[in-house]
Amino acid sequence: AQSVTQLDSQVPVFEEAPVELRCNYSSSVSVYLFWYVQYPNQGLQLLLKYLSGSTLVKGINGFEAEFNKSQTSFHLRKPSVHISDTAEYFCAVSDSIYGGSQGNLIFGKGTKLSVKP
């Protein structure tokens, strides 16, 4: 069975500081990995995804994530955060390349990023 662990429930950082949100997964089969962001009072929005190819994936709003198969990790990073990045971030895994669009997603518990001025 697949599972996702987001190691930090809350991450406070100052504006313009770098940030890393950690995500580890467990799976016995090929995985496809996603990061979603949920801004206050809004739905989840795809930030980036890893399906195949380069292990460094770039997403929207300057975020990137690196797929590390040996460490079963998919950490999300941004070199300099803004106040507007304050949101909750969810890591998710699927064993199907279309899993993200077919309800076959396993989500982590989320990490609340709080960016302070």
Partner 1 sequence: SAVISQKPSRDICQRGTSLTIQCQVDSQVTMMFWYRQQPGQSLTLIATANQGSEATYESGFVIDKFPISRPNLTFSTLTVSNMSPEDSSIYLCSVEPGLGFTEAFFGQGTRLTVV
Q: How far is the CB of 17 from partner 1 (least distance, A)?
A: 26
The tokens describing 17, both together, are 């500081």
Closest to partner 1 by CB, 29 vs 70, is: 29
Residue 14 binds partner 1 (CB under 8 A)? no
117 near partner 1, judged by CB under 8 A: no
Token readout for 91 is: 């890591």
CA 37 vs. chain centroid, Å, equals 8
Of 14, 16, 18, 45, which lies in the binding site for partner 1, with binding defined by CB under 8 A? 45
CB-based contacts of 36, cutoff 8 Å, min separation 6:
44, 45, 46, 47, 89, 90, 92, 107
Q: Tokens for 4, please give them.
A: 């996702």
Interaction of residue 87 with partner 1, rule CB under 8 A: no
Contacting positions for partner 1 (CB under 8 A)? 4, 9, 32, 34, 36, 41-46, 49, 51, 90, 92, 97-98, 100-103, 105-110
